[in-house]
Amino acid sequence: RVTGNRRFASITAGDEHTCALTSRGSAYCWGANYSGQLGTGDVIDTDEPVRVTGNLKFASLTAGDSHTCALTSRGAAYCWGANWAGQLGNGDGGVDTDEPVLVQ
């Protein structure tokens, strides 16, 4: 059982991190965070779920190698984490981010 007794509606796993979505659209992530892929506003690894910053509500999310992306119910895409190849889609290739950024 994941620490915190939260109930999740969906879960996704990246290379070294995991993220889950509650039925109310809150995203939580845990694991490695060297590129900010947990979206917690820092680059500190954690072994328990921490809420993604920004109080955004998501309909779905998916974890990549060292980045994470999510969609709101209105179809807006947000990503966070490694951006060495522009995978965050924010036009700022090469700059990692530890918080959700809107995909352009």
Residue 12 reports pLDDT greater than 90: yes
CA dist 42 → 13, 50, 55, 59, 80 (Å) = 19, 11, 16, 24, 11
Separation CA 21–CA 19 (nearest Å):
7
Q: Report pLDDT digits (tens) over 26-79.
A: 999 999 999 999 999 999 999 999 999 999 999 999 999 999 999 999 999 999
Q: Which of 63, 85, 89 is nearest to 76 (CA)?
A: 89
Separation CA 39–CA 47 (nearest Å):
14
- H or E element: which one contains 68? strand 67-71
